[in-house]
Structure 1
Amino acid sequence: MAARGGDVTRRLGLDALDGLPAAARPVVDPAGVSVGIVHLGIGAFHRAHQAVFTEEAMASHGDLSWGVCGVSQRSRTVVDQLAPQDGLYAVLERSAAGATARVVGSVREVLCAADNASGVLDRIAAPSTRIVTLTVTEKGYRLRPATGHLDLADGEVVADLAGRPPRTVAGQLVRGLERRMHNDAGPLTVVCCDNLPANGVVMRRLVGDFCARLPDSPGLTEWIAQSVRFPSTMVDRIVPATAGADRAEVTRLLGLRDEGTVVAEPFRQWVIEDDFAAARPAWERAGATLTDDVGPYETMKLRLLNGSHSTLAYLGALAGCEFIAHAVRAARLGELVHRLMADEVRPTLAVPASFDVAEYTATLLERFANPALKHRTIQVAMDGSQKLPQRLLGTARDLLALGDSPRLIAFAVAGWMRYVSAGQSERGGPLPVDDPLAARIAAVTAGADSPAAVCHALLGLAEIFGEDLSVDPTFPGLVLDGLQRLTRDGVAPAVRAILAT
């Protein structure tokens, strides 16, 4: 249904669904769906990924007890978007062929942890809740990237441990599990869906770190070990930030105003370790892969897709490219990331049987080049200190252990260093450093007046590079060479030079 005359103001909600064409309606009746999942971090990615898989799983199996209670960690923005719409929102799929919109009906409740912490804990502790899922981005876990453990010096973690209404995911989970144990509400599965290697293992470790600092931890720790599972996952779908033009497109396609629109590419993938404490949705019927070992899939995705994405973001932003689709076509950056994937990432991977890495790599480049997505380079460039270890540095360490040279990985790291220290792009545009370690990065580079000084200062950040890479006999020199080229010559000449060697 298209908007008529530009005057459509009716807002999306349950009472408006009958007016939508069948292809645009939820695949389940939202009014019949009850909550069985609590999701921490109900941003755009969850709504375009796990919520869609869950809705389709309910439709295929007929079990409507897997609705989502979405939790916004700090801001009420998503609550204000979705609550007046009965939890409904549209996923706008954009491809080179055009755009389609469909309303999703799996989100049945939205809470803001900042003003209803007890309500969040009650939901986690409810017997009807059998799964908690999370997408809070890498920085949301409050971990030290170099160790993988909870950052016990983080002010928010300290406050949660002191007993305030919890605001960190570790605090929310542990306090919710504590209530669940006392209520005898049954087992629970915690499904981390962020881009962290072995994310289930990491989540279990963070919960354990938090529990260990509580006065009554032994009993709770034992109950969690017996009653809670933390499967690892790999998630994949490119979900750029929603713009006003996207909401206008949904209004045109549906004839309704939707404040909760999310944008996504057509591609989506979810690989889940089959280790659940109790029942789960039939996600495999919606296209998810259930497996005994997620490791090979998550390593491939983190290093091939995410590593290349970050490389395109830093170098593309430096070159003045606003969007990833522009970056992949500029300054031979598409060729650079193809070489990076084929020559340096591929030798470090344990590829699952029947998986075609060459086809996957080609598909990634096509996805990056999708001109309809408008995925901003500076959005992908956010939180680099939290992303580099798993996206790029793990590959570098594996290559060094094999006796190979991580030239292209080091060049990508040099791109990050130039991004966080340059201040502006080659076209004069701003390069915002949106990062949990932004103040520390600025402090250590403040007096660095040469590429060598910048490189030395940033490699010294053990929370990013560990204690090994800064003293490796090869890696610092490779990074410095790339940073000198980028500083002296600019992105395009530096890329040409690195590809010629």
Structure 2
Amino acid sequence: MTERLSFDTKPSTAVDPRELSIGLVHLGLGAFHRAHQAVYTELAAAATGETTWGISGVSQRSTTVRDQLAPQDGLYSVLERGLGEPTVRVIASIREMLVAPEGVVERIADPAVSVVTLTVTEKGYRASPDGGLDFNDEGVKVDLASATPRTVVGQLVAGLAARARTGAGPLTLLSCDNLVANGAVLRRLVHEFAEAKPSPGLAEQLESARFPSSMVDRIVPATTDADRADAERLLGCRDEGVVVAEPFRQWVIENDFAAARPAWERAGAILTDDVAPWERVKLRMLNATHSLLAYLGALKGYATIAEAVRDEELFRQALDLMTEDVVPTLDPPADLDLTTYGESVLERFANPALKHRTAQVAMDGSVKLPVRLLGTVRDRLAAGAEPRHAALAVAAWMRYVSTAEAIDDPLADRLRAAVTSAKAGPAGLVDALLGVEQVFAADLRDDTTFRALLTTHLAELSR
């Protein structure tokens, strides 16, 4: 059997992992982080020669990543799939793999750590529909009564409290999830948890902390056996932790840090005073179109996004969503041409080498729709326009959750109950799902234009 990736078998890496000390904690040790922030961090360290930015990566639930990487000395590869032959890069920046809750608070409290980054998906923040902390969430309730936090916000607050006790320096908490104003969202949740569970010095520690916003972009599909085989062929050794990504990557970061940070700009990141214009473009154009293609593609029987976007009808619907509904709601950065950006989005989605599954993109729709599509719906309605294409994407989600054999969603039980209780016909299903208050606020639930669009689209999709 081929030897496994390790210090002994690895091809060259941008940095020597044995020289790296831990200065950064990352919560959410999934494929996206390993294909994105970990790559930027390693390239930044290589560009500057700094050895203080090794990553302590934390899995929130599963031991899978630790089990994959620990026998490989923490090494793994990123397999880039473009239109030509795939390429592979071995990454060495992750120097520790933890599984929550063991050791997480202690590592956040380490004085050598000055930055905590997060990719825990939208549902990992345990937010209520109004954007505050969901104090009815079982995990939040347990953490408020426990000394061993299991939620992300609980871990951050406990880590800040521990830093206050030991006199560790100020901390930057950097969200990298697809949330509008993710830094402000995280700040509010952390402050509300801290107010509910105060401790000596915590208020002062929070006062010195920083919560910059960021926008991340890279398509990272689930790894397949074919990907592992290609990585082994290119590496000459076996990698159980390989992740797959497109060649494109982007990271826009608000330049607001409490203390030292990696020189991510040396690796191609954009440091800016205002992330919001970049974030809105990405969420409303790329992410919203991704969701539309996922739901419509799945309904037409397509297994991957690339298959869906090559369907002439779906391609046109995706393009119309961006050009007719989204673009009028945007005020983009000065050097970003929206027409070119939209074309590049569809080109990236059409990459046949990625095989990004429609079912994977369709996950967690109840938390994705509000940040990807419903803002566009509101803005178009406020302008006196009909958001026909954004409403089509929402109707496709409604059709999807009403027909899928299994729903991978934090509100799966609530959605099933709504579907089951719906009156017959498209209008009945629209009424039932608009009644899910965690997704649709009263303004959209009661808007007759939006309701009529959804009913019309759903009737057409049902046929």
TM-score, with structure 2 as normaliser: 0.98
Mapping of 1:103-122 within 5 angstroms?
A: 103-114=90-101, 116=102, 119-122=103-106
- Asked if the contact 2:302/2:308 (under 8 Å) is kept, the reply is yes
Partner of 1:166: 149
Tell me which amino acid in the other structure corresponds to 2:218.
R
* C-alpha separation in 2, matches of 1:477 and 1:181: 54
Where 1:474 maps in the other structure, the secondary structure is helix
Report what 1:14 is aligned to.
7
Say whether the 8 Å CA contact 1:378–1:432 is kept in structure 2: no
Corresponding residue number in structure 2 for 1:73: 60
Instruction: Report the counterpart of residue 491 of structure 1 in structure 2.
Output: none
Amino acid across the alignment from 2:9: A
CA distance in 2, matches of 1:379, 1:453: 28
Cα distance in 1 for residues equivalent to 2:147 and 2:413: 26
Q: Within 5 A, what are the aligned runs for 1:472-483?
A: 472-483=447-458
* Structure 1 residues 389-410: Cα deviation after superposition (integer angstroms, max 9, x where no partner): 0100011011111111101101
Q: Which of 155, 175, 178 does residue 195 from structure 1 map onto?
A: 178
Q: In the aligned structure 2, how far is the partner of 1:106 from the partner of 1:447? A: 50
Looking at structure 2, the residues matched to 143 and 164 of structure 1 have their Cα atoms a distance apart, in angstroms, of: 21
> Does 2:240 match 1:265?
no
Q: Partner of 1:417: helix, strand, or coil?
A: helix
SS state at 1:465 partner: coil
Cα deviation per residue 1:21-78 (whole Å; 9 max; x = unaligned)? Answer: xxxx211111111111000001000000000000000000111101100001111111
Which residue in the other structure is 2:291 paired with?
Answer: 310
3-state SS of paired residue (2:448):
coil
Q: C-alpha offsets along residues 227-247 of structure 1, whole Å, 9 cap, x if unaligned?
A: 210000000000001111111
TM-score (norm 1): 0.91
* CA–CA separation in structure 2 for the residues paired with 1:403 and 1:222: 47
The counterpart of 1:442, out of the listed 416, 426, 438, is 416
Question: Which of 354, 357, 365 lines up with 1:373 in the alignment?
Answer: 354
2:196 corresponds to which residue? Answer: 213
Distance in 1 (CA, whole Å) between partners of 2:204 and 2:372 is 34
1:335 alignment partner, one of 276, 296, 316:
316
Aligned to 2:84: 97
Residue 221 (structure 1) shift: 2.6
1:250 to 231, 250, 265: 231
Structure 1: which 5+ residue stretches go unaligned? 1-6, 424-430, 489-501
Q: C-alpha offsets along residues 312-341 of structure 1, whole Å, 9 cap, x if unaligned?
A: 000000100000000001251111111110
Aligned mates of 1:161, 1:304 — CA distance in 2: 38
Task: Work out the CA distance in 1 between the residues paired with 2:193 and 2:169.
Answer: 21
Instruction: Answer yes or no: is the 8 Å Cα contact 2:421–2:432 preserved in 1.
Output: no
Question: Which of 245, 255, 270 is the aligned partner of 1:274?
Answer: 255
Of 175, 179, 191, the match for 2:162? 179
Match among 205, 229, 232 for residue 223 of structure 1: 205
| Structure 1 equivalent of residue 117 of structure 2 | 133
Q: Residues 273, 240 of structure 1: CA spacing in aligned structure 2 closer, same or farther, 3 A cutoff?
A: same
> Does the CA-based 8 Å contact 1:87-1:107 persist in structure 2?
yes
- Find the aligned partners of 1:243 and 1:98 in 2 and give their Cα distance: 17
Rounded to whole Å, the distance in 2 between the matches of 1:105 and 1:48 is: 12
Residue in structure 2 matched with residue 392 of structure 1 by the alignment: 373
- SS of the aligned residue for 1:463 comes to coil
Q: Compare 227-236 and 92-101 and name the one that shifted more.
A: 92-101
Please name the residue that 2:135 is paired with: 152
Kindly state the Cα deviation for residue 473 of structure 1 after the two structures are TM-superposed: 2.8
Correspondence list, 1:424-463, <5 A: 431-448=405-422, 449-463=424-438
Secondary structure at the counterpart of residue 84 of structure 1 = helix
Q: Which residue in the other structure is 2:36 paired with?
A: 49
| Cα contact 2:114–2:261 (8 A) shared by 1 | yes
d(CA) in 2 for partners of 1:433 and 1:444? Answer: 13
Amino acid at match of 1:124: I
- The answer on 1:289 being equivalent to 2:270 is yes
Amino acid at match of 2:125: Y
| Aligned-partner Cα distance in 2 for 1:215–1:47 | 34
State the identity as a percent.
60
Aligned-partner Cα distance in 1 for 2:34–2:418: 38
Q: Using the alignment, how far apart are the partners of 2:203 and 2:433 within structure 1?
A: 38
Provide the residue aligned with 1:348 in structure 2. 329
Of 196, 204, 209, which residue of structure 1 is paired with 2:187? 204
1:362 is aligned to 2:349? no
Q: Is the CA contact (8 Å cut-off) linking 1:43 and 1:78 kept in structure 2?
A: yes
Query: Matches of 2:96 and 2:142 in 1, distance apart?
Result: 27
Query: Match of 2:415, as an amino acid?
Result: I
* CA displacement at 1:447 relative to structure 2: 2.9
Q: Does 1:82 align with 2:69?
A: yes
Stretches of structure 2 that go unaligned for 5 or more consecutive residues are none
Deviations along 1:81-134, whole A, 9 cap, x unmatched? 1111111000000112120111001001101114x1xx1111100010010000
Distance (Å, rounded) in 1 between the aligned partners of 2:431 and 2:124:
28
**What is the alpha-carbon distance in structure 2 between the residues aligned to residue 455 and residue 466 of structure 1?**
14
User: Once structures 1 and 2 are overlaid, which stretch shifts more, 263-272 or 204-213?
Assistant: 204-213
**Superposed displacement of residue 432, structure 1:** 2.9
The whole-number CA distance in structure 2 between the counterparts of 1:131 and 1:316 is 39
> Over aligned residues, Cα RMSD in angstroms?
1.1
Partner SS for 1:392: helix
**Alpha-carbon distance in 1 for matches of 2:453, 2:351:** 32
Contact 1:95 1:266 in 2 (8 A): yes
Report the alpha carbon displacement of residue 16 of structure 1 after superposing the two structures with TM: 1.5
Task: Indicate conservation of the 8 Å contact 1:201/1:230, yes or no.
Answer: yes
